[in-house]
Homo-oligomer: A and B are copies of this chain.
Amino acid sequence: MTEIDRMLAANREWMAQFPGDLPVAPARGVAVVACMDSRMPLFGMLGLGVGEAHVIRNAGGVVTDDTLRSLAVSQHLLGTRAVVLVHHTDCGLQKASDAEFADLVESRTGHRPPWPARAFADVDADVRESMRIIAAAPYLLSAEVRGTVYEVASGLLREVV
């Protein structure tokens, strides 16, 4: 039994507490943009109920073309207008550079990746830059854009101002 088999089996327990069918548009009109980090259970951390907010996640929680595509779908097709960014302390992308990452991938696979890892040094600065890009994106309709850093050692979500 692999870890994925265990997840499929766990879903049968979830079905017992399944809250029922809900509308496709998020009830609270918010999209969360967060890092993929395994220590961030966003529904629990943010008090989100099922059906309340979109959750977009990638390595670093950085804003890429795919983030903007997802936010555009969220806003234009499904009516969200607020965006909250969730980065965090102790991120894997703070521990390597883009060049070191490309070298590592090439040494292991024989192929140099065409995209940068998007490593960063200062998490607060990265949140501010992400907020700036989203606020300036010409394809979006954001009414509120805010940024936070999750402290993985304490569980505190700190707003970046």
Contacts and interface: CB of A to CB of B under 8 A. Distances in A.
Interface in A75-127: 76-78, 82, 84, 90-93, 95-96, 101, 104-105, 108-111, 113-118
Interface in A44-98: 44-48, 50-60, 64-70, 72-74, 76-78, 82, 84, 90-93, 95-96
Interface size class on chain A is 35 or more
Given A26-B38, A41-B50, A104-B76, A70 B58 contact: yes
Interface string A1-34: 0111011111101110110011010111111000
A36 interface: yes
**What is the interface of chain A mostly: helix, strand, loop, or mixed?**
mixed
A30 B5 CA distance: 11
Interface string A139-161: 11100101010001111110100
A30 B6 CA distance: 11
Contacts of A146: 4
A85 to B, nearest CB: 10
Interface of A: 2-4, 6-11, 13-15, 17-18, 21-22, 24, 26-31, 36-41, 43-48, 50-60, 64-70, 72-74, 76-78, 82, 84, 90-93, 95-96, 101, 104-105, 108-111, 113-118, 138-141, 144, 146, 148, 152-157, 159
10 contacts: A7-B157, A11-B157, A14-B47, A15-B154, A15-B156, A18-B155, A58-B58, A58-B69, A59-B70, A65-B115
